[in-house]
């Protein structure tokens, strides 16, 4: 996923939420100063593998969700899904986070050789400044939703979960599974609910690009398809 391909989606997200692009670019520039290059070749062994993109919804605590994660070739955890998986004894291959809930877990993972994709956006500059210096640099990939600069990459996506899916696609995953996802989680507030709507749209867009069908979208694929078409004037 190059930024030119992702940019129309990014612009639609900014317009929908009223976010400013300049704030994302400022956060990216802060991250640039605190980052070192991270070669994506470290993930070459993900190519052709089944990757579990693990969300942090309450259903992750259920036995079948943990089992689905455990049986995958590669496990990438979004945000606090990392803690649930670690507690269940599931090894992680990567964590994706915007540093808003459990940065201590992310720091711990980097110090123990597990790569972390740490995301900088307009609302988390203080966390970026505080936590990136505390991560093991060799195991930290920094990301942005704005245009990439220097060591800060944009592989697509908006929320931690869908960014993890886009990242797995970027490095050659053959099949994606989605334990721990619930787009209709009643425990989240209105803003998070809107972000989950966008996560579904982005996964549908990725699904189309990959020629794959994600089971997590089976109850909403047609509606999300219509929303995407309207947003992108297709």
Please report the pLDDT score of residue 32 as a whole number.
98
Among 104, 73, 25, which residue's Cα sits nearest to residue 172? Answer: 73
CA distance 164 to 54: 8
Dihedral sign (CA 114, 119, 123, 129): positive
CA distance 75 to 182: 18
CA distance 234 to 215: 24
Ramachandran region, residue 2 (left: φ > 0; alpha: ψ -120 to 50; beta: rest): beta
CA atoms within 13 A on the CB side of 111: 11
CA distance 210 to 38: 25
Kindly give the residue spans of alpha helices, DSSP state H, lying in the chain: 3-17, 21-33, 63-71, 81-87, 103-111, 125-131, 160-170, 190-210, 221-231
Bridge-partner residues for 77, per DSSP?
54, 95
Going from the C-alpha of 92 to that of each of 54, 70, 154, the distances in angstroms are 10, 10, 22
Query: Rounded to a whole number, what is the distance in angstroms from the first to the last CA of the chain?
Result: 20
- Residues 153-164: b if buried by 16+ CB within 10 A, e if exposed: bbbbbbbbbbbb
Please report the pLDDT score of residue 234 as a whole number.
64
Residue 98 is given by DSSP the state: -
Q: pLDDT tens digits, the chain, 234 residues: what are they?
A: 789 999 999 999 999 999 999 999 999 999 999 999 999 999 999 999 999 999 999 999 999 999 999 999 999 999 999 999 999 999 999 999 999 999 999 999 999 999 999 999 999 999 999 999 999 999 999 999 999 999 999 999 999 999 999 999 999 999 999 999 999 998 899 999 999 999 999 999 999 999 999 999 999 999 999 999 898 876
CA distance 182 to 179: 9
Please report the pLDDT score of residue 22 as a whole number.
97
202 touches 181 (CB < 8 A): no
Task: Quickly list DSSP for 155-217.
Answer: -S-SSHHHHHHHHHHHTT-SEEE-TT--TT-TTS-HHHHHHHHHHHHHHHHHHHHHT---GGG
Going from the C-alpha of 3 to that of each of 29, 136, 145, 146, the distances in angstroms are 16, 27, 9, 8
Please report the pLDDT score of residue 1 as a whole number.
75
């Amino acid at each position: 996923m190059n930024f030119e391909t992702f940019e129309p989606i990014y612009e639609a997200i900014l317009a929908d939420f009223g976010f400013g692009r300049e704030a994302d670019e400022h956060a990216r520039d802060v991250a640039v100063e605190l980052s070192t290059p991270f070669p994506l070749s470290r993930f070459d062994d993900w190519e052709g593998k089944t990757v579990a993109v693990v969300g942090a919804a309450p259903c992750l605590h259920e036995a079948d969700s943990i089992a689905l994660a455990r049986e995958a070739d590669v496990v990438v955890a979004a945000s606090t899904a990392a803690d649930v998986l670690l507690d269940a004894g599931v090894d992680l291959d990567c964590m994706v986070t915007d540093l808003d809930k459990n940065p201590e877990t992310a720091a711990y993972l980097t110090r123990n050789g597990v790569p972390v994709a740490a995301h900088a956006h307009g609302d988390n500059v203080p966390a970026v400044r505080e936590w990136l210096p505390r991560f093991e640099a060799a195991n930290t990939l920094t990301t942005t939703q704005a245009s990439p600069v220097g060591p800060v990459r944009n592989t697509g996506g908006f929320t931690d979960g869908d960014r993890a899916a886009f990242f797995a696609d970027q490095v050659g995953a053959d099949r994606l599974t989605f334990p721990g996802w619930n787009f209709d989680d009643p425990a989240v507030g209105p803003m998070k609910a809107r972000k989950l709507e966008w996560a579904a749209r982005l996964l549908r867009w990725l699904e189309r690009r990959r020629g794959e069908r994600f089971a997590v979208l089976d109850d909403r694929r047609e509606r999300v398809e219509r929303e995407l078409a309207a947003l992108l004037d297709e």
